[in-house]
Amino acid sequence: MDIAKIAMMVVLVITSLFMVLLILLHKAKGGGLSDMFGGGIQSSMGSSFVAERNLNRITIAMAILWVFSIILLGFLEKF
C-alpha cells in the first residue's frame, strides 16, 4: 500500500472518532431519542452559550476535515 493511502486512512479514522465524540458532547435540544433515555431532565445551568457555540464551530471544522479526507482517499484509491 502507498504511504499516502495509509496516512489518509489514519486521518479518516481519527477524524471519525472525533466526530462521534463531538456530536455526543452537544446539548440535547429535546423531542428526540435523548428525551426517551433521560436526556430531557438535564438542567441548562451546566453549559454556556459561548461553549456551545465554540463546540459547534469545532464540530463543523472537524466535519469539513472528515469530508475532505474521504474525498482525498477516494482520489488516491482511483488513481
Residue 43 has pLDDT above 60, yes or no: no
Q: Would you say residue 36 has pLDDT above 60?
A: no
**Mean pLDDT, to the nearest integer, of 66-76?**
95
C-beta of residue 28 within 8 angstroms of C-beta of residue 34 = yes
pLDDT, the chain, mean: 84
Residue 52: predicted pLDDT = 87
Q: Give the CA distances from residue 42 to residues 8, 39, 46, 52, 56, in Å, rounded to whole numbers and listed in that order.
A: 38, 6, 9, 15, 19
Where is 38: in which H helix or E strand? none
1 or 78, which is more confident: 78
Q: Is residue 31 over pLDDT 60?
A: no
C-alpha to C-alpha distance for 66 and 78, rounded to whole angstroms = 19
Total residues found in the chain within this entry: 79
